[in-house]
Amino acid sequence: MLRQDEISTVQISIDDKTFLLHKGESIFQMLLRQEMIFLSFCGGKGRCGRCKIRFLKGTILPSASDRIFLSPNEIRAGIRLACTARPTSDCVIELLMEEKKDTQIISGYDLSEWEHSDQEADIPKAVIAVDIGTTTLAMQLILTADGHIEAEYRKMNPQRSYGPDVISRIEADESGEGKRLTELIRDEIEKGVSFLKKKCQEKFEDKDVCERIPVVIAGNTVMQHLFLGYPTVSLGTHPFTPVDVQEHSLKILDSKTIFMPGISAFVGADIVAGIYALKLCSHENRHKVSMLIDLGTNGEMAIGNAERLLVSATAAGPAFEGRNISAMEGTDLIYVTAQLLEKEILDETGLMSDPYFDQGYEYKGSKVTQEDIRALQMAKAAICSGIRILMREYPILPEEIDSVYLAGGFGYYLDTKSAVRIGLIPEELAGKVRAVGNTSLMGAYLYGRNINAAEEVKKITGLAVPINLASQEGFEEKYLESLHFPHHD
C-alpha cells in the first residue's frame, strides 16, 4: 500500500475515467499500472516516439524527447509523449498510441521422426507444453498417444509493456520492477494452464487424469530468470553469468511443472528444447552435422551432432521483428530488400537510389526507408558472420552440413531465396534450409512425454560449448564483410 507522501494529487482523466498519478510517475507509467497499454518499444525511455497522447486540458510544456520526435504542429496541438509527461496539475488526455499488430505465434511442428504409442505404461495422457518467448506466450495441450494438439492458449507476453526485448526487461528488473515482471508471466501461464486443464477434462472426462498431466516450460534465459524470480542483472553485464540454468521443478495449479534447463546467459531452454526435438545430438544422427538457427532480436544458433555441439547467440537488433522505422514485418522487409537489389534500386553497400533515398519505397501501405535498410544490414551481418564463425570453429565446410533448421515464426514465414539474396544465410547453405516451426514447444512436449528425456537433455547441456562470437578472432572482420549485400551479375 502506498504511503500518503507517495500519492500525487494530480488527476488524469481519460474517456471520462479519472486516475491518480503516483509521486514522480509519468503518464506512461500510470498507463502501464492501469493496464491501459500493453506495449512499449523502448521501455518508456523517450527513445522511440510512439507513446503519443494529446492533452485536451491542462497541456504541459514539451520535453526534449517531444521536440525530437514530434512535429511543431503536433506540439502546438497538445500532443506529447506519455513517457516524458509528468503533469503537476489536473489534466484531460486522449490516447493516440497504436498497438503494433500481433506477431504471428507459430505453434506447428513436425513430429514425424518421433514414434508415438499409447502402450507405454508410465507416460501421461497429455502434456501442457509452454514456450515463453520475449514477445509471445504459446501453450498447448498435446495428447501423448499420437501427438495431436488438443487445445491451444496463445497470448502476447504481458511483460512486453516494459519493452520489446530482453535488454529492456533486464533494465526494468534493475529499476525495481522484477517482482511485477514475474507476476505478469506467472499469472498469464496460470490462466493458460487452467484453460487447458478444462479442455483436458472435456476430452478425457476424468479430472484425476487431467490433474496428473505435467506442465513443461521452455524459454530463453532472461525469461527463465524472470519466471523463477531470479535477478537478471548478471545477464546484462560482463561476464554475463546466469544465476541458475538448471532444470527446475515447481507446481502450477497443483500440476507438476518443469522448467527445462538452459546452457548459458545467451542460449536458453528454448534452444535446448529445439536441439532435443530435432534430434541434433541423437545417436542415430551421429554421422550428420546440422545447424539450428532461431532468428529474432537475439539470433541463437547451434551446430553439431552427438559428438560435438557449439552454441552461440548474436545481437541482431529489432529489424527482424517489425520494430524498424516503418514497423514492417521482418520477413516482408527481407523480401522487399531482395527485390530492391534485383531492381537495382539498392546497391551492394545498401544505398538507395534517388528518389527512394529521401522518400522511401512503398510496399503494402508501408515505406521501406534508408534507415530500415541500414538496420537490416546490421542484423543480417550479425547472423551471417555468426554462422560463418561457428562453421570455422567446429570446423566444418558448408557442403558437409546436412540440414539448416530455421525455428520460430520468423523462420516459418521467411522466403529463403530472399534471405540468401541479401546475405542473411550464406549462399552455400541455400539448399539445406528447412523451416521447422516452434521447436521450443515441440521440445517441451517431448520432454514431458518421453521417459528418458531428462537424461538425453542432460547430455545436450553437458556437450554444449558456448562460443562468445565477439571474442572470436576475425569476427569483426567477418561482420564488416557481411554488411554489404552479395554481388550478383
Count structural domains, the chain. Answer: 3
Tell me how far CA of residue 455 lies from CA of 261, 278, 304, 317, in angstroms.
12, 16, 18, 35
Q: Kindly state whether residues 215 and 286 are assigned to the same domain.
A: no
Indicate the residue among 275, 307, 323 that finishes a domain.
Answer: 275
SS3 426: coil
* Highest-pLDDT range among 88-102, 218-232, 426-440, 470-484: 218-232
Angstrom distance (rounded) from CA 228 to CA 244: 10
According to the model, what pLDDT value does residue 107 have? 55
According to the model, what pLDDT value does residue 205 have? 87
Q: Kindly state whether residues 76 and 193 are assigned to the same domain.
A: no
Q: Kindly state whether residues 362 and 421 are assigned to the same domain.
A: yes
Mean pLDDT score, 450-469: 96
Domain harbouring 78, CATH code = 3.10.20.30
Cross-strand pairs, 367: 362
Q: Kindly state whether residues 130 and 67 are assigned to the same domain.
A: no
According to the model, what pLDDT value does residue 427 have? 93
**Set of cell numbers at residue 215:** 506442465
153 domain-assigned: yes
Angstrom distance (rounded) from CA 443 to CA 135: 19
Q: Kindly state whether residues 287 and 270 are assigned to the same domain.
A: no
The pLDDT of residue 373 is above 60: yes
Q: Kindly state whether residues 303 and 343 are assigned to the same domain.
A: yes
Please choose, from the candidates 114, 50, 61, 195, the residue with its C-alpha nearest in 3D space to the C-alpha of residue 442: 114
Confidence band, pLDDT 50/70/90 cuts, at residue 163: confident
446 domain-assigned: no
101 domain-assigned: no
Mean pLDDT score, 285-312: 92
Angstrom distance (rounded) from CA 239 to CA 83: 32
pLDDT tens string 45-58: 787 787 899 999 99
Mean pLDDT score, 255-278: 97
Q: Kindly state whether residues 479 and 353 are assigned to the same domain.
A: yes
SS3 469: helix
According to the model, what pLDDT value does residue 102 have? 41
The pLDDT of residue 112 is above 70: no
Indicate the residue among 77, 95, 113 that finishes a domain.
Answer: 95
The pLDDT of residue 99 is above 60: no
294 domain-assigned: yes
Confidence band, pLDDT 50/70/90 cuts, at residue 343: very high
Average pLDDT, the chain: 89
23 domain-assigned: yes
According to the model, what pLDDT value does residue 101 have? 42
Q: Kindly state whether residues 269 and 340 are assigned to the same domain.
A: no
488 domain-assigned: no
Indicate the residue among 275, 299, 328 that finishes a domain.
Answer: 275
Angle value at C-alpha 108, between 279 and 323, nearest 5 degrees = 105
Angstrom distance (rounded) from CA 242 to CA 257: 21
Q: CA gyration radius for the chain?
A: 24
Query: Phi, psi (5° rounding) for residue 263?
Result: -120, -45
12 domain-assigned: yes
Please, are residues 312 and 466 in contact by the beta-carbon 8 Å criterion? yes
Confidence band, pLDDT 50/70/90 cuts, at residue 486: very high
Identity of the amino acid at 385:
S
Please, are residues 172 and 157 in contact by the beta-carbon 8 Å criterion? no
Mean pLDDT score, 393-419: 90
Please, are residues 39 and 22 in contact by the beta-carbon 8 Å criterion? no
Domain that holds residue 300: 279-441+451-456+467-483
The pLDDT of residue 2 is above 90: no
Q: Kindly state whether residues 286 and 418 are assigned to the same domain.
A: yes
Q: Kindly state whether residues 412 and 359 are assigned to the same domain.
A: yes
Domain harbouring 243, CATH code = 3.30.420.480
Angstrom distance (rounded) from CA 162 to CA 169: 6
Domain harbouring 471, CATH code = 3.30.420
Q: Kindly state whether residues 178 and 291 are assigned to the same domain.
A: no
Q: What is the DSSP string of 269-287?
A: HHHHHHHHHTTTT-GGGTT
25 domain-assigned: yes
Please, are residues 92 and 58 in contact by the beta-carbon 8 Å criterion? yes
Q: What is the DSSP string of 273-326?
A: HHHHHTTTT-GGGTT--EEEEE-SSEEEEEEE-SS-EEEEEEE--SGGGT-STT
Please, are residues 414 and 435 in contact by the beta-carbon 8 Å criterion? yes
> Residue 227 class from Cβ within 10 Å (0-12 exposed, 13-18 middle, 19+ buried)?
buried
Q: Kindly state whether residues 435 and 286 are assigned to the same domain.
A: yes
